[in-house]
Amino acid sequence: MSTAEKNECETYRVIVLGKSGTEILLASNGDRFALPAVEIPRWQRVAEDLTAAVNTEWGEEVICLFEPDVSALTNATGIRYQAAEHCSATGKPKMPTQWVPFSVLAHDSLIGASDYLAIQQSIALCSGEGKESPSGPFARLGWFKELHEWVETVIEPLGFHLSGNVRQLNASPSFSLVRFETDGPALWFKAVGEPNLREFPITLTLTGLFPTYIPHVLAARPEWNGWLAPEVEGTSLNETQEITSWEAAAVALAKLQIESISAGVPLLESGAHDLGAAAISKLVNPFLGLMRQLMEQQTKATPRALSRKELAFLGEHMQNALRLLKMSDIPDSLGSLDFNPGNIIASKNGCKFLDWAEAYVGHPFFTFAYLLEHFRRAVVVDAKLEQHLTASYSAQWERLLPSAAIAESLTVAPLLAVFAYASGCGLCSKERLRDPENAGYLRALTRRMNREANEMRDWGSACLT
């Protein structure tokens, strides 16, 4: 493997636990042991790539549980760990392995200096089969077997069965994403934990209210905050540049939002963010106060930090934009602060929208602004094509509202859409602000808002006049 390829990979040492949770799969290396290790691509789904690599290189089928945190000891080496449960032997390992009771191991039994600590922590966090884990339901041995049996009981009355082919795409103590193949449609199981717990009740509410646009839920598992749904047939919008698919998504979004106008109460009760005019207006001054602090804390010369005068100018234009939206009388409806093309499936039968963890009730055009921004990045920056996409979306709203009000609102929506995302997704929480990268990201978003405000400076003043 070349140096460039190695730089694009991460090394994981895998703590494969037996079903009792007391034995570890280890490779012999002289008079000491080594954990099975694999290299997987960076920036990909760890669970999916790691389970495939362990199967191919070590001849073992495993289910990922969680990543023990021993970063204090491994930052210099770049080595990471993954705790996993053993399912079955599938082939020949690249070097001999054996099951070793943890009770016979000591710090110097393993080659890696941090290996023993990682194993010790994994066993402490992992509960035995049938027992609850304080870390979350998916840190427990046997959870996947239980899930497999539950899925089978759900689909058996529907006339199909699991085929045995499984892809685990996400793994943590409280989150899970697994794809099951059957002799009928493929199925997805998804479960969520903090800070996305709201996605569970929101998903159940949406699938009940808007089955045309939201994937059908076959069954829910409340104790896991999880649900089972058939795979949606079609093409993910991030895999196509076909303008017709993007226009179909814009039309379906508008129709869904119009249908949701009367559903504000149940959506808010299920956990959707409240980004109505009154709520979002109250967020402006606290946000700008925070950004004054973050701009003054910036140590880099470029990109330039915004001055207090510029932030005051931004605040004035944000309030102007909010007044313009209020004057338009466009009703609040369903939206998403994480409306990206990977969560939109287009087919000849219409569009389905996935992943509503960041659902909100507020101005609908914020969500279209996100779609338009992704369109520019994924397809092309072309004024005529953007106009076509906007016209497809606007045409649905023109059945309810004056076209002038729609056009004015679409002009100011990009500024407030960035603000809604920055203030509504938890980026401003104390916990997130401890991360310097997050603080830099907020500064970048605020610069983007400032550019949007400058572009609407004259236009907004004229409209208010």
Inform me whether the pLDDT recorded for 462 exceeds 70: no
Nearest to 449 by CA among 389, 390, 369: 369
Residues above pLDDT 90, as percent of the chain? 82
Distance, first Cα to last Cα, the chain: 65
**Cβ partners under 8 Å of residue 423, min gap 6:** 280, 283, 287
| Range list of β-strands (E), 91-186 | 97-101, 162-171, 176-182
Most confident of 254-263, 297-306, 372-381, 421-430: 254-263
Q: What token pair was written down for 152?
A: 């089978």
* pLDDT tens-digit series, residues 233-251: 999 999 999 999 999 999 9
Inform me whether the pLDDT recorded for 452 exceeds 50: yes
Residues above pLDDT 70, as percent of the chain? 94
**Per-residue confidence (pLDDT) for residue 7, from 0 to 100:** 63
**Burial (Cβ within 10 Å: 0-12, 13-18, ≥19) of residue 231:** middle
Nearest to 137 by CA among 65, 42, 49, 30: 65
* pLDDT tens-digit series, residues 172-192: 999 999 999 999 999 999 999
CB 425 within 8 A of CB 340: no
CB 208 within 8 A of CB 201: no
CB 341 within 8 A of CB 242: no
**Per-residue confidence (pLDDT) for residue 120, from 0 to 100:** 92
Q: What is the mean pLDDT of the chain?
A: 92
**Per-residue confidence (pLDDT) for residue 4, from 0 to 100:** 46
What are the DSSP calls for 312-349, one per residue? HHHHHHHHHHHHHHHHHTPPPEEEETT--GGGEEEETT
Inform me whether the pLDDT recorded for 465 exceeds 70: no
Q: What is the mean pLDDT of residues 390-396?
A: 98
Q: Please name each of the domains of the chain with its CATH number.
A: 3-125 (3.90.79.10), 137-230 (3.30.200), 235-464 (3.90.1200.10)
Inform me whether the pLDDT recorded for 457 exceeds 90: no
What are the DSSP calls for 193-258, one per residue? -TT-TTHHHHHHHHHHH-TTTSPPP-EEEGGGTEEEEEPPPSEEGGG---HHHHHHHHHHHHHHHH
* pLDDT tens-digit series, residues 101-151: 999 999 899 988 889 999 999 998 887 666 677 789 999 999 999 999 999
Token pair 């996305």 in the structure block, residue: 196
**Per-residue confidence (pLDDT) for residue 186, from 0 to 100:** 97
Q: What is the mean pLDDT of residues 343-353?
A: 94
**Per-residue confidence (pLDDT) for residue 464, from 0 to 100:** 47
CA distance 194 to 357: 11
Nearest to 280 by CA among 221, 212, 360, 226: 360
Q: How many CB atoms lie within 10 A of CB 44?
A: 14
Inform me whether the pLDDT recorded for 268 exceeds 70: yes
The dihedral through the CA atoms of 430, 423, 135, 12 has a sign that is negative
* pLDDT tens-digit series, residues 319-338: 999 999 999 999 999 999 99
Inform me whether the pLDDT recorded for 75 exceeds 70: no
Model confidence pTM above 0.85:
yes
Q: What is the mean pLDDT of residues 279-297?
A: 95
CB 332 within 8 A of CB 261: yes
**Per-residue confidence (pLDDT) for residue 133, from 0 to 100:** 74
* pLDDT tens-digit series, residues 21-73: 889 999 987 889 999 999 999 888 999 999 999 999 999 999 999 999 876 55
Residue 374 three-state SS: helix
**Per-residue confidence (pLDDT) for residue 146, from 0 to 100:** 96
**What are the C-alpha distances in Å from 64 to residues 140, 152, 329?**
11, 21, 50
